């Protein structure tokens, strides 16, 4: 299954947007068709508590997830890099498609604001999956 397309979601701290995007992608994708990971250019120490809470509301547990550094090795073999606020800092990956999703950073948002960002990410992930034919069933 290692030949499945890989989508890398990246933000600065890997503690909010990119974590939500990768988790939602992996929840919604046909796992035989693609997979996702997330990383950050300056990873934080943990996923933001309000992000953990908002994702728990949709059945995704991020309590044990740790932010990780975005490196060219980590993103090796990626099919698509989706950036969220780290456009200038994110490395250029040769032969990898790139998209930018301008989304609010949930770091300082109340839970209501994090839910809005989460729901927008879910819409964007759904459109991405449909456009690539990677949807479940």
pLDDT attached to residue 2: 57
Counting residues of the chain whose pLDDT is more than 70, the rounded percentage is: 96
- Domain ranges in the chain are 6-132
User: pLDDT for 68-77, tens place per residue?
Assistant: 999 888 888 8
Give residues with Cβ within 8 angstroms of 84, minimum separation 6.
9, 10, 11, 17, 18, 21, 100, 101, 102, 103
User: pLDDT for 40-56, tens place per residue?
Assistant: 999 999 999 999 999 99
Phi-psi region of 77 (alpha: psi -120 to 50; beta: other; left: phi over 0): left
The pLDDT-based confidence of 87 (bands split at 50, 70, 90) is low
pLDDT attached to residue 73: 86
6-132: CATH topology is Rossmann fold (3.40.50)
**What are the start-end ranges of the E strands in the chain?**
6-11, 35-40, 80-83, 97-100
The pLDDT-based confidence of 88 (bands split at 50, 70, 90) is confident
């Amino acid at each position: 299954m290692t030949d499945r397309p890989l989508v890398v979601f990246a933000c600065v701290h890997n503690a909010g947007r990119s974590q939500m995007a990768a988790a939602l992608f992996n929840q919604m994708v046909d796992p035989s068709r693609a997979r996702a990971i997330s990383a950050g250019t300056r990873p934080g120490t943990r996923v933001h508590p309000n992000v953990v809470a908002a994702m728990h509301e949709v059945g995704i547990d991020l309590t044990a997830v740790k932010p990780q550094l975005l490196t060219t090795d980590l993103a090796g073999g990626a099919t698509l890099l989706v950036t969220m606020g780290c456009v200038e800092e994110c490395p250029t990956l040769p032969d990898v498609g790139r998209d930018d999703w301008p989304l609010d950073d949930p770091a300082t948002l109340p839970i209501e604001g994090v839910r809005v960002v989460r729901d927008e990410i879910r819409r964007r992930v759904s459109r991405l999956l449909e456009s690539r034919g990677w949807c479940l069933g």
